[in-house]
């Protein structure tokens, strides 16, 4: 009898170990990046559109469409996975004329079966002000339907009762305490739960049942149904031939069904699936065992059996708490309880915890008061307490059913480019040195560059004397610049406006050591900063660009007189949300002329928020990047492009 508690204690140790090895989980198959990116302006038509998601999308349940600026669909090929990646899709696109195009997409996560959809835009051969990033929030899975919640609740109730029967029958109560009618109810509950969950998923995805079951996401429901069916065979065996062997088979098959369910939830990684499985089995031994204890109390269970279950329940509770903390930390972060009502998932989790706390309190009351006093005539207090525990446990499982249908984190769909830093990695040709380069904010214009330089094999930092970045734009061979980095807290850091225009840049990282040097080539594609550009053209006046930024701040810019072949002035003025001139501490311009060599002219102050610079203007397309430092501490970034005819 001592072996089972020791095994459960080992489960607890594994749970603690998992908490140290855990990695963060993602919620839904949200769009992480796309090519073209949201709001990107292309000179020529792309031959394909690629999209990378935060979770593997189910290819058979994914739709991608392209519309022109009149709403007419543009022919595309079927979605296909990019070789070597399970998260990147692409569709073939025939050559399209100049214009603005909208890409609409809808997919189902192959990890948890949740639905997401959204749209983004790009332009081909149009003016910069004609295309703007779409900023609508992604459409996520609707809150779980009553059918889905009922299905999950019935599945969890059934599997908990069946696993509890097997474990407590082996460890605490013996085969004689198992009642066939409750086993039958438990199996029927689990079976009905699987059916309801499948029907609810079909309704959410909006496809025929056959299509769902043949998909990757639907295959998890098929696996779960098979696992519950196998458990039904073990139930039948335990009913017909009750004994320790059939109870062991029941516990194993019920645990297998729990594992099948864990693979279809939010867990994602193998470590988290194992943690979720341990959590499920801990609940089964604890809560499921309470149901069998409740029945046994009516038959005057021997005090020794009650004490054995109390020990089993204590260890199982520890497994539940540790694995539950691990799962919540993995999905919401360690400090999620500081903001428990930030979304539906965390609110429901907080409610679940609020129910579990008194449930644990009743368990402690039983263990330290009722169990020591339990005897032939002392079952009534324990019956009342166990009955209360079962009622609270049913509510906990109901909250779990709701949690399963909610995303652990709010969708972090990037509404527009620049929502998160760009991170690229690479190694030199001889694979001796690895570089991880983070570009913040990752947009065209000023950026902060942080490079981590490590040994390729050991991962240890490389003892370099100097590190620098060289920027080249293959589309414009004359565009090139170099930025030296400075050592800072183990990394190499620098700031600059080298990424002065859209495109895919070749960034060569030169790592110079004491006796040798290596070059690591990287590719960086900056996105266009989130901004809205209004263009005002009045005969006889310079073209005025009004760039509206987040919070209603504005930058107005114009090139006066806008005539090539002579010296012109570029004027920049900042305004606050009320339209008043915003005092600036400083302002800089990063200008890329048609010849392709970026430069930063000297800025002259004309007013509190008004600066200007002299440039020798030539015919062609010019790119202007503006960085303004407000006296309030705010940083304003804006950009525009203007073509000048000779």
What is the helix (H) or strand (E) element at residue 469, kind and residue range?
strand 466-473
- CATH of residue 107's domain is 2.60.40.1220
Among 480, 500, 524, identify where a domain stops: 524
Quick: pLDDT tens for 86-108: 888 899 998 888 888 888 888 88
Sign of the torsion formed by the C-alpha atoms of 573, 579, 581 and 582: negative
pLDDT of residue 414 exceeding 80: no
> According to the model, what pLDDT value does residue 75 have?
86
Angle between helices 3-21 and 146-171 (to 10 degrees): 140
Encoded tokens for 499: 């990424």
- Dihedral angle at the C-alpha atoms of 291, 292, 293, 294, nearest 10 degrees? 50
pLDDT of residue 297 exceeding 80: yes
Sign of the torsion formed by the C-alpha atoms of 400, 405, 406 and 411: positive
**Which is higher by pLDDT, 526 or 429?**
429
Q: Of the spans 55-69, 77-91, 200-214, which averages the highest pLDDT?
A: 77-91
> Are 376 and 285 found together in one domain?
yes
**How far is 391 from 450, CA to CA, in rounded Å?**
55
How many structural domains is the chain composed of? 4
Encoded tokens for 374: 């339990």
**How far is 19 from 23, CA to CA, in rounded Å?**
9
> Are 246 and 343 found together in one domain?
yes
406 close to 122: Cβ distance less than 8 angstroms: no
- CATH of residue 219's domain is 1.20.1630
480 phi and psi, to 5 degrees?
A: -160, 145
Q: Which residues, 6 or more positions from 470, have their beta carbon under 8 angstroms from its beta carbon?
A: 480, 481, 482, 483, 507, 508, 510
> Are 560 and 512 found together in one domain?
no
Structural domain for 515, as ranges: 422-524
pLDDT of residue 238 exceeding 90: yes
355 phi and psi, to 5 degrees?
A: -80, -35
**How far is 483 from 465, CA to CA, in rounded Å?**
15
Angle between helices 216-240 and 180-205 (to 10 degrees): 170
Per-position b or e across 605-627, b if 16+ CB within 10 A of its CB: eeeebbbbbebebeeeebbbbbb
517 SS3 class: strand
**How far is 142 from 54, CA to CA, in rounded Å?**
19
> Are 110 and 186 found together in one domain?
no
395 close to 491: Cβ distance less than 8 angstroms: no
Half-sphere exposure (Cβ direction) of 592: Cα atoms closer than 13 Å: 21
> Are 455 and 548 found together in one domain?
no
Alpha helices, H only, 100-213: 146-171, 180-205, 209-213
> Are 155 and 123 found together in one domain?
no
Quick: pLDDT tens for 308-362: 988 998 898 888 888 877 777 766 666 556 667 766 667 777 787 888 888 888 8
316 close to 9: Cβ distance less than 8 angstroms: no
525 SS3 class: coil
Lowest mean pLDDT among 291-295, 300-304, 436-440, 445-449: 445-449
pLDDT of residue 451 exceeding 80: yes
**How far is 361 from 373, CA to CA, in rounded Å?**
18
- CATH of residue 548's domain is 2.60.40.1930
> According to the model, what pLDDT value does residue 557 have?
94
Lowest mean pLDDT among 214-228, 295-309, 410-424, 513-527: 410-424
Residue 54 domain-assigned (yes or no): yes
441 close to 417: Cβ distance less than 8 angstroms: no
Q: What mean pLDDT do residues 612-638 have?
A: 85
> Are 308 and 377 found together in one domain?
yes
Q: Which residues, 6 or more positions from 631, have their beta carbon under 8 angstroms from its beta carbon?
A: 583, 584, 585
> According to the model, what pLDDT value does residue 9 have?
44
> According to the model, what pLDDT value does residue 570 have?
95
pLDDT of residue 21 exceeding 60: no
pLDDT of residue 139 exceeding 70: no
268 close to 26: Cβ distance less than 8 angstroms: yes
Q: How much is the mean pLDDT over the chain?
A: 81
Task: Specify which residues 468 forms β-bridges with.
Answer: 484, 510
> Are 199 and 324 found together in one domain?
yes
**How far is 249 from 298, CA to CA, in rounded Å?**
26
Q: Which residues, 6 or more positions from 488, have their beta carbon under 8 angstroms from its beta carbon?
A: none
Per-position b or e across 189-202, b if 16+ CB within 10 A of its CB: bbbbbbbbbbbbbb
Residue 8 domain-assigned (yes or no): no
Closest CA to 189 of 391, 397, 24: 397
Among 499, 524, 549, identify where a domain stops: 524
pLDDT of residue 504 exceeding 60: yes
Quick: pLDDT tens for 510-552: 999 888 899 999 888 776 555 677 777 777 888 888 888 777 7
* Pairing verdict, β 115-124 and 99-108: antiparallel
Residue 136 domain-assigned (yes or no): no
Longest CA pairwise span in the chain (Å): 107
> According to the model, what pLDDT value does residue 235 have?
94
> Are 185 and 247 found together in one domain?
yes
> Are 126 and 162 found together in one domain?
no
106 phi and psi, to 5 degrees?
A: -150, 130
Residue 436 domain-assigned (yes or no): yes
Alpha helices, H only, 528-598: none
**Which is higher by pLDDT, 198 or 363?**
198
Q: Is 415 left (phi over 0), alpha (psi -120 to 50) or beta?
A: alpha
> According to the model, what pLDDT value does residue 227 have?
94
205 close to 141: Cβ distance less than 8 angstroms: no
- CATH of residue 493's domain is 2.60.40.10
Q: What mean pLDDT do residues 255-277 have?
A: 79
Residue 412 domain-assigned (yes or no): no
Residue 21 domain-assigned (yes or no): no
> How far from chain centre, in Å, is Cα 47?
29
Lowest mean pLDDT among 93-102, 224-233, 261-270, 376-385: 261-270
Q: Which residues, 6 or more positions from 2, have their beta carbon under 8 angstroms from its beta carbon?
A: none
Among 130, 157, 174, identify where a domain stops: 130
Residue 548 domain-assigned (yes or no): yes
> Are 157 and 247 found together in one domain?
yes
> According to the model, what pLDDT value does residue 16 have?
37
> Are 69 and 168 found together in one domain?
no
> According to the model, what pLDDT value does residue 614 have?
95
Residue 578 domain-assigned (yes or no): yes
pLDDT of residue 419 exceeding 70: no
């Amino acid at each position: 009898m001592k072996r089972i508690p020791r095994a459960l204690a080992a489960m607890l140790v594994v749970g603690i170990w998992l908490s140290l090895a855990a990695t963060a989980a993602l919620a839904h198959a949200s769009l992480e990046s796309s090519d073209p990116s949201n709001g990107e302006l292309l000179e020529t038509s792309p031959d394909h559109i690629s999209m990378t998601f935060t979770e593997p999308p189910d290819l058979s349940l994914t739709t991608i469409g392209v519309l022109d600026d009149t709403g007419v669909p543009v022919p595309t090929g079927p979605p296909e996975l990019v070789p070597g990646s399970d998260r990147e899709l692409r569709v073939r696109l025939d050559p399209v004329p100049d214009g603005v195009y909208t890409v609409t997409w809808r997919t189902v996560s192959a990890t948890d079966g949740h639905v997401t959809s959204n749209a983004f835009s790009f332009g081909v051969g149009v003016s910069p002000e004609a295309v703007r990033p779409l900023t609508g929030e992604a459409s996520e899975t609707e809150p779980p339907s009553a059918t889905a919640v009922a299905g999950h609740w019935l599945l969890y109730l059934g599997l908990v009762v069946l696993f509890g029967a097997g474990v407590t029958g082996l460890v605490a109560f013996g085969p004689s305490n198992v009642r066939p009618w409750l086993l039958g109810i438990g199996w029927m509950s689990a079976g009905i739960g699987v059916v309801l969950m499948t029907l609810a998923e079909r309704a959410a995805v909006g496809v025929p049942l056959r299509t769902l079951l043949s998909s990757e996401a639907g295959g998890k429901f098929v696996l779960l149904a098979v696992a519950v069916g196998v458990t039904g065979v073990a139930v039948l065996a335990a009913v017909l031939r009750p004994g320790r062997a059939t109870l062991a088979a029941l516990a194993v098959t019920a645990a297998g069904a729990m594992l099948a369910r864990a693979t279809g939830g939010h867990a994602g990684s193998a470590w988290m699936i194992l943690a979720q499985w341990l959590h499920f089995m801990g609940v089964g031994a604890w809560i499921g065992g309470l149901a069998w204890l409740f029945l046994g109390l009516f038959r005057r269970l021997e005090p020794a059996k009650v004490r054995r279950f109390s020990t089993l329940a204590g260890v199982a509770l520890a497994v539940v708490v540790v694995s539950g903390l691990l799962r919540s930390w993995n999905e919401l972060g360690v400090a999620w309880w500081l903001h428990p009502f930030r979304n539906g998932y965390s609110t429901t989790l907080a409610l679940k915890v609020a129910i579990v706390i008194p449930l644990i309190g009743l368990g402690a009351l039983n263990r330290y008061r009722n169990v020591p006093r339990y005897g032939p005539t002392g079952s009534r207090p324990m019956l009342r307490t166990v009955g209360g525990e079962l009622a609270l446990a049913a509510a906990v499982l109901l909250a779990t059913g709701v949690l399963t249908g909610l995303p652990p984190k709010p969708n972090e769909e990037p509404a527009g480019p620049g929502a998160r830093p760009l991170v690229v990695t690479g190694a030199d040709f001889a694979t001796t040195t690895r570089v991880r380069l983070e570009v913040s904010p990752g947009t065209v214009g000023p950026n902060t560059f942080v490079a981590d330089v490590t040994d390729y094999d050991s991962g240890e930092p490389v003892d370099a004397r100097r590190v620098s970045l060289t920027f080249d734009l293959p589309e414009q061979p004359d565009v090139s610049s170099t930025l030296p980095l400075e050592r800072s807290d183990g990394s190499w850091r620098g700031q600059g406006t080298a990424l002065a225009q859209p495109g895919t840049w070749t960034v060569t990282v030169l790592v110079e050591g004491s006796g040798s040097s290596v070059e690591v080539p990287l590719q960086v594609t900056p996105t266009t900063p989130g901004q809205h550009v209004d263009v005002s053209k009045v005969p006889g006046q310079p073209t005025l660009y009004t760039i509206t930024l987040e919070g209603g701040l504005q930058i107005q810019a114009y090139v006066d007189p806008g005539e090539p072949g002579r010296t012109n002035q570029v004027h920049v003025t900042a305004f606050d949300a009320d339209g008043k001139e915003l005092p600036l501490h400083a302002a800089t311009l990063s200008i890329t002329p048609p010849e392709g060599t970026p430069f930063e002219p000297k800025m002259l102050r004309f007013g509190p928020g008004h600066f200007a610079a002299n440039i020798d203007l030539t015919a062609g397309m010019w790119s202007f990047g503006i960085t303004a430092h407000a006296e309030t501490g705010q940083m304003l970034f804006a950009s525009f492009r203007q073509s000048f005819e000779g």
